[in-house]
Every structure is written in structure tokens, then in C-alpha cells.
């Protein structure tokens, strides 16, 4: 029986750069780093609350294209925050550039959000669901 989502996995061009971004900018913690010699791959597992993120890279992936550079919203990885505006201020102070200057409301005002790009162009979101 399925109990929960175990983790989300992303391919990245540069493992060290991505680990730095997700830990320094977003506050995730490194759980472990692994080598997979038979695949010439390196993997890092990061955690934030209950969310575990697996990021991996392989030799030759530096030139690979990952995310559509247009401002497409899907797929994306979203992080729940208590206050979108305050979180925007905190992350902007660390150099994050948001898609919108102000928090956005969607779903008849029940969700407040904004999006930004990760180091490989992946779409990331901060959001707050209003009760």
C-alpha cells in the first residue's frame, strides 16, 4: 500500500551549484551524497520538512537542456510559506529574481504565490494556501 510520496527527483547540470542553491537560498539540508559509478552519476538527497529532493548529474549532462526558458509554469516544484511577500523579500535579498513584482492570487484568491527559476532554469514556486 502506498503511504506517501518518498521524494522528488531533478536532473541538474552541476551538482555542487544546485546543492549550494537549494541549501543556501532555500534552506534545505543535505541528507546524503552518493556516487553511482556504473552510471557515471552523482546524486544528492536534500530535505526540507517532510519533502525530500533527489538531484543528480551524469558526465556529459552539462550541455543538456532541462527547462523551457519561456516562462512556462509546468512542471514546477512548490514550497509552502507562511507569508509570500515576506518570503519574497527574504529570497530577493539572497539574489532570487521573481517572475512577478508582487505576490499573485489564483484559484478565486485561495492561493497566493510567486515563481522564480532554479540554477538550471527549473520553475520553482513559493505559495500560501488560504484557509
- 71: cis peptide before it, omega within 30°? no
CB atoms within 10 A of CB 88: 20
> Is residue 2 domain-resident?
no
Whole-number percent of the chain with pLDDT over 90: 54
> Is residue 120 domain-resident?
yes
54 pLDDT above the threshold of 80: yes
> What pLDDT does 24 receive?
95
Choose among 75, 89, 70: nearest CA to 125: 75
> Is residue 71 domain-resident?
no
126 burial type by CB count under 10 A (0-12 exposed, 13-18 middle, 19+ buried): buried
Residue 48 lies in domain:
8-60
d(CA 67, CA 6) in angstroms, rounded, equals 23
- 80 and 125 in a single domain? The answer is yes
Q: Give the domain-ending residue among 60, 84, 101.
A: 60
Mean pLDDT calculated for residue range 71-76 = 62
> What pLDDT does 36 receive?
86
Q: Using one digit for the tens of pLDDT, what is the confidence trace for 2-24?
A: 567 778 988 888 999 999 999 99
- 15 and 56 in a single domain? The answer is yes
d(CA 104, CA 71) in angstroms, rounded, equals 15
> Is residue 69 domain-resident?
no
List the CATH number of the domain containing 34: 3.10.180.10
Amino acid at each position: 500500500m502506498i503511504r506517501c510520496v518518498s521524494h522528488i527527483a531533478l536532473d541538474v547540470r552541476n551538482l555542487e551549484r544546485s546543492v549550494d542553491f537549494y541549501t543556501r537560498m532555500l534552506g534545505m539540508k543535505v541528507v546524503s551524497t552518493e556516487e553511482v559509478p556504473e552510471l557515471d552519476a552523482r546524486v544528492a538527497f536534500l530535505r526540507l520538512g517532510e519533502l525530500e529532493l533527489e538531484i543528480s548529474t551524469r558526465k556529459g549532462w552539462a550541455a543538456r537542456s532541462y527547462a523551457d526558458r519561456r516562462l512556462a509554469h509546468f512542471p514546477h516544484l512548490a514550497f509552502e510559506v507562511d507569508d509570500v511577500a515576506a518570503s519574497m523579500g527574504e529570497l530577493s535579498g539572497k539574489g532570487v529574481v521573481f517572475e512577478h513584482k508582487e505576490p499573485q492570487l489564483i484559484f478565486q484568491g485561495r492561493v497566493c504565490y510567486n515563481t522564480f527559476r532554479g540554477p538550471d532554469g527549473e520553475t520553482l514556486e513559493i505559495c500560501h494556501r488560504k484557509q
